[in-house]
Amino acid sequence: MTRKLIVADDVATVAAEHVVDRQPRTLALAGGSTPRALYEHLADCNLPWADMEIFFTDERCVPPDDRNSNFRMANEALLSKVAVNVHRMPGERCDAGEYETEMRNVLGATPVFDLVLLGLGADGHTASLFPGDVALEEDRRWVVAVRRPDHKRLTLTLAILSTARTAIFLVTGATKRDALRRLLAGEDIPAARVHAGEVLIIADKAAAQGTSG
């Protein structure tokens, strides 16, 4: 598996181009703040919306209208603007098994995501898979709940994220510089354990400063 770094002034536009190139039918959306600009851009892009199944890589265990909800962010930026099948993680119930059942009903017993979008935390986390968390070792379940100081969360596990044909990491800002360096070096951080078929890392200059990208 190779990791390709693409340094861009406008991460959202470049990432949107890569999403459109792949015309994904199954897509998992990242949370956090970085993807908002990409989602806003995708709302105007030519994607097979009617044939797509959209999932989430993780969700805070809050109601869908909570300002901390990843669904709320994606819905405001994209999902409310396009007619697409959305499989929202039930943050309000924080029920990992419920979401796994829904995934199995749609993806079948041997899931393959055409594309997963991921962020990168300054500590090297991705989705809600944090350094040292037991969730990193989960090799049977597709979705698990994790406890964090800010919110309990639901997250896809590494096994399911790694089924992706393509994983695109969106990385912006100087605070991510060290995590990006570690990801590119393949150091043992959660983000480096996503072994998708293809891994693209689209980063801005602030994050990529000092890397040979």
Positions touching ligand 6PG (CB under 6 A) are 30-34, 58, 70, 119-121, 125-128
Q: Which residue is nearest to ligand 6PG (CB)?
A: 119
Contact 3, 184 (CB under 8 A): yes
Contact 201, 211 (CB under 8 A): no
CB of 125 to ligand 6PG, least distance (A): 6
CB of 114 to ligand 6PG, least distance (A): 19
Task: Please say which residue, 24 or 121, places its beta carbon nearer to ligand 6PG.
Answer: 121
Task: Please say which residue, 90 or 121, places its beta carbon nearer to ligand 6PG.
Answer: 121
Task: Please say which residue, 30 or 47, places its beta carbon nearer to ligand 6PG.
Answer: 30
Residue 79 DSSP label: G
- CA 56, 109, 136: angle at the middle one, nearest 5? 55
CB of 51 to ligand 6PG, least distance (A): 26
Beta strands in the chain (DSSP E): 3-7, 26-29, 53-56, 58-60, 85-86, 115-119, 143-146, 153-156, 166-171, 198-203
Pairing status of strand 58-60 against strand 153-156: antiparallel
- Please state at what angle helix 35-42 crosses helix 11-22, rounded to 10 degrees: 50
Contact 118, 34 (CB under 8 A): no
Task: Please say which residue, 36 or 81, places its beta carbon nearer to ligand 6PG.
Answer: 36
CB of 109 to ligand 6PG, least distance (A): 26
Task: Please say which residue, 4 or 148, places its beta carbon nearer to ligand 6PG.
Answer: 148
CB of 172 to ligand 6PG, least distance (A): 7
Nearest to 122 by CA among 206, 27, 37: 206
